Amino acid sequence: MTDSTQEPSGDLLLRTLAMPADTNTNGDIFGGWIMSQMDIAGGILAQQITAGAVVTVAVDSMKFISPVQMGDVVCCYGEMKRQGNTSLALHLEVWVRPRMSREKGSRPHSKVTEAVFTYVAIDENGVKRRIPRD
Ligand SMILES: CC(C)(COP(=O)(O)OP(=O)(O)OC[C@H]1O[C@@H](n2cnc3c(N)ncnc32)[C@H](O)[C@@H]1OP(=O)(O)O)[C@@H](O)C(=O)NCCC(=O)NCCS
C-alpha cells in the first residue's frame, strides 16, 4: 500500500489511459502493458540524456504494488539513478489516478509499480556508443 503522503519521484515522462483492450482475464490491466509504458517513458528520458538512440538492456527490481484498472490515468515518472560510459539506469515509477468518479471513497492517486530500467546508447549500426558528457 502506498503512503498517501508520498509523492512520485522524478519527472512526469508519460501520461496515458488504461483501455479495455489492455485488460487481463481478471479485468485488471496486464502487467506487460504497464511495463511497456514504463519502457517507452524511460526511453524518452534516456534518449534525451544520451542525445540519440538507446536500447533497453535490463529491467531490475520490478515490484507490482497494486492492480491498475480500466479507465485509470497512468502516469510514468522517472529519474536517473546511475550513468556509466555507454549505459544509464533509470528509476521509474507508475502512479495512477482512478477514473473520474463521483462515488465517495474512490481510490486516491497511488503508486502501482516501480523498477530500474537500464538503457544503452547505440549508434546508427546498433553498436554501443559513449554517452556525451556536458
Ligand atoms: C545493449 C547492447 C548494444 C550492448 O552491447 P555490448 O557491446 O554487448 O555491450 P556491453 O556488454 O559492453 O554493455 C554495455 C553497457 O551496458 C551495461 N550492461 C550490459 N548488460 C547489463 C545488465 N544486464 N544490467 C545492467 N547493465 C548492463 C554494461 O555494464 C555497459 O555499461 P557501461 O558502458 O556504462 O559501463 C546489446 O547487448 C544489444 O543490442 N542488446 C539487445 C537490446 C535490445 O534489443 N533490447 C530490446 C529492445 S529495445
Task: For the chain, give every domain's residue range.
Answer: 11-121
Q: Is the CB of 85 under 6 A from ligand 1?
A: yes
What pLDDT is attached to residue 98? 84
Residues facing 80 on adjacent strands: 90
User: What is the band of 99 on the pLDDT scale with cuts at 50, 70, 90?
Assistant: confident
The arithmetic mean of pLDDT across residues 122-128, rounded, is 98
Q: Please identify, by atom number, the ligand 1 atom nearest to the C-alpha of residue 128.
A: 3
Q: Please identify, by atom number, the ligand 1 atom nearest to the C-alpha of residue 131.
A: 34
User: What is the band of 6 on the pLDDT scale with cuts at 50, 70, 90?
Assistant: confident
Percent of the chain at pLDDT above 70?
Answer: 90
Q: pLDDT tens across 9-61, in order?
A: 999 999 999 999 999 999 999 999 999 999 999 999 999 999 999 999 999 99
CA of 73 to the centre of ligand 1 (A): 32
What pLDDT is attached to residue 104? 57
Pocket test for ligand 1, best of 50, 56, 120 (most atoms within 8 A of CB): 120
Mapped onto helix, strand or coil, the DSSP state of residue 42 is helix
Which CA distances in Å does 44 have to 11, 33, 78?
11, 17, 10
What pLDDT is attached to residue 24? 94
Please say if the pLDDT value at position 95 is more than 70: yes
What pLDDT is attached to residue 106? 60
User: What is the band of 70 on the pLDDT scale with cuts at 50, 70, 90?
Assistant: very high
* Phi-psi category of residue 38: left, alpha or beta, with phi > 0 → left and psi -120 to 50 → alpha: alpha
The arithmetic mean of pLDDT across residues 90-107, rounded, is 78
Question: Residue 126: phi, psi to the nearest 5?
Answer: 80, 15
Residue where the block lists cell 479495455: 20
Report domain 11-121's class: alpha beta
